[in-house]
C-alpha cells in the first residue's frame, strides 16, 4: 500500500490528542506513587472496573486493527477460531489463576514462581523467558504505530516509532503502574468508540440490516458471501490439532504472559480480580466479534464489488474500508483508536520488563538494596528499556501476529504451566517446574528460531518424531501441542520422582485458595496430575493418529 | 479437614473443573469437533460453482443456522464470547459465596 503522500490532518490531530492525554494522565497519576509497591502494582488499590478496562486495552493490541483482519482475509474461519480461543482464554485465566495470584502478594510472575517453589534459579530462568516473550510480543506493536503514522498520516515511519516509543516510555517511567492503569482505561474507552462506530457505518453502507450491532449484524449478507466465497466458513482448511494447539497456546499462554498476570497483582482483593476478568472477557469479545465483522466486510466488499486490494495492503484493510465506505472523519477516529491500542500494549510490556529486571533480577542478586534505591533504579531502568525497545522496533519481525502467536506458545510452556501447577497441585516442586519450563519453552523457542526467524519449512526442522506432523496451513502452530504437553508431563513426573516441597511452600497453596488453616490433603491428590498426564499424551497421540486423514 | 471445609474444597475443585471443561470446549476444542464431525455441520453436495481450489471435489457446503450465520460459526462466536462470559460470571458468584464461608 502506498502512503497517503500528504499529511492526514484530522487523523494526525486526533492521534496527537491521544498521545497528549496519555502523558497528562501519567503526570497526574504520579502523585499517587510513594513507594515501590505503588510504582509496580499501584499500591494494590485498583478496582474491578478499572482493572477490567485496563486489561481490555492490554489484550487488544495493534494486531486487532492491522493484523487480525488481514488474517481473516487470508485464513477466514481459522483466524476467527484463533481469536475466539483468545477471548475464551480469559476465562481460563480467571478459573485457574487470577484470584489465586492476587492472594499470593507477589509483584510479578517471576517473583511468584521463585517464591512458590523456593528457588532463585527459577526466578532467573523465568526472567529470561519473560524477556523473550515480551520482546516478541512487543516488537510488532511499536513498529505498527510507525506503520500507522507512515501509511495513514503521511509521517515517516521512524518518526512514528520514535514519537510513539518516547511517549509511552515517558508515561510509563513517570506514572508507574498508576499511570499505566489509568492510561489503559482511557485507551480502552477510545478503542471501543473508535472501532465500533466506524465499523457500524461500514456495515450500513454495505447493506447489512443489523449494522447497529456489528458483532451479529451481518447475517443477511452471508448467502451472497457463501455463493461468492464458498470456503469462507470452512473449518477444514487446517488439521484439527491446529485448533487444539491454538487452545493450549491461548489458555495457558495468557496465564503465562507476565504483563497480563501483573494486572492481578494491582487489584484490591481476589473478588475484584475475579470480576475484573469477567468484565474484560465481555469487552474483549465485543471488540473481537466486531473485528470478525470487519474481516467479513472486507472480503464481501472485495468479492461482491470487484474491488482489488493488494495482498500487501491487507494489514490496513480496516482503514481502507472505513475511508471508502464511511469517510475521512471516521477514518481519523479509527487511526486514533489504533494508536491507543498500540500504546497500551507497549506500556504493559515495558512495565513488566522494567519490573523483571530491577525487582526480580537486580533485587534477587542484591537483596541488601533498600526499596527506595530500587524505586530510583526502576525509573532509570524503565527509561533504558524503553529506548532499547525503540531501537529494536526499527527492525522487528515482519508479520506481527505470527510473532505474537509464537510468544503465546513460549509463554504457555515456559510460564503458564508452572503457574497453573503451582496453584493447583501442592506436590509440584522446583525440580519438576525447572525441567518442564526449560524443556517446554526451549522446544517452542528453538522452533521459533528455525521456523519463524530462519524461515525453515516446519516439516523439515530437526525435531525428533514430531516434525513430519507439522504439515499444512498453520502447521507450525502444532509445535505448541507438543511443547505444552511435554512441559506438563515433565513437571508432574519429575515432581513425583523428587522430594516433596517443604510445608512452608505447600502452605502457600492453601493461602492462595483463601483457606486460613493448612491441610496437607487439600490440592494434593492424584486425580489432577494423572488427568494432566493422560490429556497431554492424548493430545500428542491425536496429532500422530490423524496423520493420514487430513490433506497435507 | 472439617466437614464444612471439605465440602467447600470439593465444591471449589469440581465447579472449577466443570467450568474449565465447558470453556475449553467452547473456546478451543469446538472447532476440532466441527472438523471431525463435519457432516453434522456441512452439506456434502456442492454445486459446480461452489467448488473451490482447496480440496476440489471433497468440498463441503455450510448449512445455515441462526440469524443467517452457519450453525458452527454462530456457535463459535457466541459461545466463545457470551458463553464464556456467563460461565465466568457463574463461577465468580459461586467463589464469592465460598469466600464468605471461608471467612466465617
Query: Residue A474 region, left (φ>0) first, then alpha (ψ -120 to 50), else beta?
Result: left
| CA distance to partner chain B, nearest, from residue A256 (Å) | 17
Q: Which residues of chain B neighbour A92 with C-beta distances below 8 Å?
A: 20, 23-24, 27
List pLDDT tens digits, range A1-28.
555 666 678 888 888 888 888 888 888 8
Complex ipTM tops 0.90: no
| CA distance to partner chain A, nearest, from residue B93 (Å) | 9
Q: What is the mean pLDDT of chain A?
A: 85
List pLDDT tens digits, range A272-309.
999 999 999 999 999 889 888 888 888 888 888 878 87
Question: Is B81–A251 a contact, with Cβ atoms under 8 angstroms apart?
Answer: no
CA angle B100, B102, B104 (to 5 degrees): 75
List pLDDT tens digits, range A230-282.
777 877 777 888 888 888 888 999 998 888 888 888 888 888 999 999 999 99
Buried b or exposed e, range A56-83, using 16+ CB within 10 angstroms = bbbbbbbbbbbbbbbbbbebbbbbbbbb
Query: Which residue from A47, A498, A90 is spatially nearest to A281, judged by alpha carbons?
Result: A90
Residue to mutate among A59, A79, A88, A281, with most B CBs inside 10 A, is A88
Q: Which residues of chain B neighbour A216 with C-beta distances below 8 Å?
A: 67, 69, 77-78
Q: Which residues of chain A neighbour B81 with C-beta distances below 8 Å?
A: 84, 87-88, 215, 281-282, 285-286, 288-289
Average pLDDT over residues A385-405: 74
Of the pLDDT bands very low, low, confident and very high (cuts 50, 70, 90), residue B59 is: low
Q: What is the distance in angstroms between the CA of the first residue and the CA of the last residue of chain A?
A: 32
Of the pLDDT bands very low, low, confident and very high (cuts 50, 70, 90), residue A361 is: confident
Question: Is B23–A216 a contact, with Cβ atoms under 8 angstroms apart?
Answer: no
Domains and CATH numbers, chain A: 9-394 (1.20.1730.10)
List pLDDT tens digits, range A186-199.
888 888 888 888 88
Cα(A320)–Cα(A309) distance, rounded to whole angstroms?
9
Contact call for residues A401 and A67 (beta carbons, < 8 A): yes
pLDDT at B103: 64
Cα(B69)–Cα(B64) distance, rounded to whole angstroms?
6
List pLDDT tens digits, range A334-360.
888 887 777 777 878 888 888 888 888
Question: Is B68–A246 a contact, with Cβ atoms under 8 angstroms apart?
Answer: no
Residue to mutate among A207, A230, A546, with most B CBs inside 10 A, is A230
Cα(B104)–Cα(B102) distance, rounded to whole angstroms?
6
Residue B76 has pLDDT above 90, yes or no: no
Q: Which residues of chain B neighbour A282 with C-beta distances below 8 Å?
A: 81, 85
Give backbone dihedrals phi and psi of A331, rounded to 5 degrees, phi first.
-65, -40
Of the pLDDT bands very low, low, confident and very high (cuts 50, 70, 90), residue A320 is: confident
Residue B55 has pLDDT above 50, yes or no: no
A154 touches chain B (CB under 8 A): no
Residue A483 or residue A394, greater confidence: A483
Average pLDDT over residues A515-519: 87
Question: Is A243–B60 a contact, with Cβ atoms under 8 angstroms apart?
Answer: no
pLDDT at B43: 67
A235 touches chain B (CB under 8 A): yes
| A274 → chain B, closest CA residue | B92
Cross-strand pairs, B64 = B70
pLDDT at A115: 92
Of the pLDDT bands very low, low, confident and very high (cuts 50, 70, 90), residue B88 is: very high
| CA distance to partner chain A, nearest, from residue B7 (Å) | 11
Q: How many CB pairs under 8 A join A and B?
A: 183
Amino acid at each position: 500500500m502506498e502512503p497517503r503522500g500528504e499529511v492526514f490532518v484530522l487523523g494526525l490531530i486526533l492521534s496527537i490528542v491521544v498521545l497528549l492525554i496519555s502523558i497528562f494522565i501519567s503526570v497526574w497519576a504520579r502523585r499517587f506513587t510513594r513507594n515501590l509497591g505503588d510504582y509496580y502494582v499501584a499500591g494494590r488499590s485498583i478496582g474491578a472496573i478499572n482493572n477490567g478496562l485496563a486489561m481490555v486495552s492490554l489484550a487488544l493490541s495493534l494486531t486487532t486493527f492491522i493484523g487480525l483482519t488481514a488474517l481473516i482475509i487470508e485464513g477466514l474461519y481459522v483466524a476467527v477460531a484463533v481469536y475466539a480461543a483468545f477471548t475464551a482464554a480469559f476465562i481460563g485465566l480467571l478459573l485457574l489463576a487470577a484470584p489465586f495470584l492476587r492472594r499470593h502478594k507477589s509483584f510479578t510472575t517471576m517473583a511468584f514462581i521463585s517464591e512458590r517453589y523456593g528457588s532463585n534459579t527459577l526466578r532467573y530462568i523465568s526472567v529470561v523467558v519473560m524477556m523473550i516473550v515480551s520482546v516478541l510480543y512487543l516488537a510488532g506493536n511499536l513498529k505498527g504505530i510507525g506503520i500507522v503514522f507512515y501509511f495513514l498520516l503521511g509521517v515517516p515511519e521512524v518518526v512514528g516509532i520514535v514519537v510513539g516509543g518516547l511517549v509511552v516510555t515517558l508515561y510509563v517511567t513517570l506514572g508507574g503502574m498508576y499511570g499505566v492503569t489509568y492510561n489503559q482505561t482511557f485507551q480502552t474507552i477510545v478503542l471501543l468508540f473508535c472501532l465500533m462506530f466506524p465499523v457500524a457505518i461500514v456495515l450500513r453502507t454495505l447493506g447489512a440490516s443489523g449494522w447497529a450491532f456489528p458483532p451479529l449484524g451481518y447475517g443477511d449478507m452471508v448467502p451472497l458471501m457463501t455463493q461468492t466465497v464458498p470456503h469462507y466458513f470452512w473449518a477444514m482448511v487446517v488439521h484439527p490439532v491446529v485448533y487444539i494447539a491454538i487452545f493450549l497456546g491461548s489458555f495457558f499462554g495468557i496465564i503465562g504472559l507476565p504483563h497480563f498476570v501483573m494486572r492481578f497483582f494491582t487489584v484490591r482483593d481476589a473478588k475484584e480480580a475475579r470480576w475484573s476478568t469477567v468484565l474484560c472477557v465481555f469487552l474483549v469479545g465485543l471488540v473481537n466479534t466486531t473485528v470478525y465483522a470487519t474481516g467479513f466486510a472486507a472480503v464481501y466488499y472485495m468479492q461482491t464489488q470487484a474491488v482489488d486490494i493488494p495482498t500487501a495492503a491487507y494489514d490496513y484493510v480496516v482503514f481502507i474500508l472505513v475511508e471508502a465506505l464511511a469517510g475521512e472523519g471516521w477514518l481519523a477516529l479509527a487511526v486514533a483508536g489504533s494508536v491507543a491500542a498500540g500504546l497500551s500494549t507497549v506500556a504493559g510490556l515495558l512495565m513488566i520488563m522494567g519490573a523483571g529486571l530491577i525487582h526480580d533480577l537486580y533485587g534477587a542478586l542484591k537483596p541488601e538494596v533498600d526499596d527506595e534505591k530500587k524505586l530510583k533504579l526502576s525509573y532509570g531502568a524503565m527509561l533504558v528499556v524503553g529506548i532499547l525497545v525503540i531501537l529494536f522496533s526499527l527492525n522487528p519481525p515482519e508479520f506481527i501476529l505470527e510473532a505474537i502467536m509464537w510468544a503465546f506458545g513460549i509463554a504457555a510452556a515456559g510460564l503458564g504451566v508452572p503457574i497453573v501447577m503451582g496453584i493447583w497441585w501442592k506436590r509440584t516442586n522446583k525440580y519438576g517446574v525447572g525441567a518442564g519450563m526449560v524443556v517446554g519453552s526451549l522446544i517452542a523457542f528453538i522452533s521459533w528460531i528455525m521456523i519463524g526467524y530462519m524461515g525453515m519449512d516446519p516439516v523439515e526442522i530437526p525435531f525428533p518424531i514430531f516434525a513430519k506432523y507439522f504439515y499444512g496451513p498453520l502447521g507450525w502452530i502444532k509445535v505448541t501441542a507438543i511443547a505444552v504437553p511435554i512441559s506438563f508431563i515433565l513437571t508432574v513426573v519429575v515432581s513425583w520422582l523428587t522430594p516433596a516441597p517443604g510445608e512452608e511452600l505447600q502452605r502457600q497453596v492453601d493461602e492462595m485458595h483463601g483457606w486460613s488453616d493448612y491441610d496437607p490433603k487439600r490440592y494434593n491428590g492424584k486425580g489432577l496430575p494423572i488427568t494432566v498426564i493422560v490429556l497431554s499424551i492424548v493430545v500428542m497421540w491425536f496429532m500422530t493418529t490423524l496423520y493420514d486423514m487430513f490433506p497435507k | 479437614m472439617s466437614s464444612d471445609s471439605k465440602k467447600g474444597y470439593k465444591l471449589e475443585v469440581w465447579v472449577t473443573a466443570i467450568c474449565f471443561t465447558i470453556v475449553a470446549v467452547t473456546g478451543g476444542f469446538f472447532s476440532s469437533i466441527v472438523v471431525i464431525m463435519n457432516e453434522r455441520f456441512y452439506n456434502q453436495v456442492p454445486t459446480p460453482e461452489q467448488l473451490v481450489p482447496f480440496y476440489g471435489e471433497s468440498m463441503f457446503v455450510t448449512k445455515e443456522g441462526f440469524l443467517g450465520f452457519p450453525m458452527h460459526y454462530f456457535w463459535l462466536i457466541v459461545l466463545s464470547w457470551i458463553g464464556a462470559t456467563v460461565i465466568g460470571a457463574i463461577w465468580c458468584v459461586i467463589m464469592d459465596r465460598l469466600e464468605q464461608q471461608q471467612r466465617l
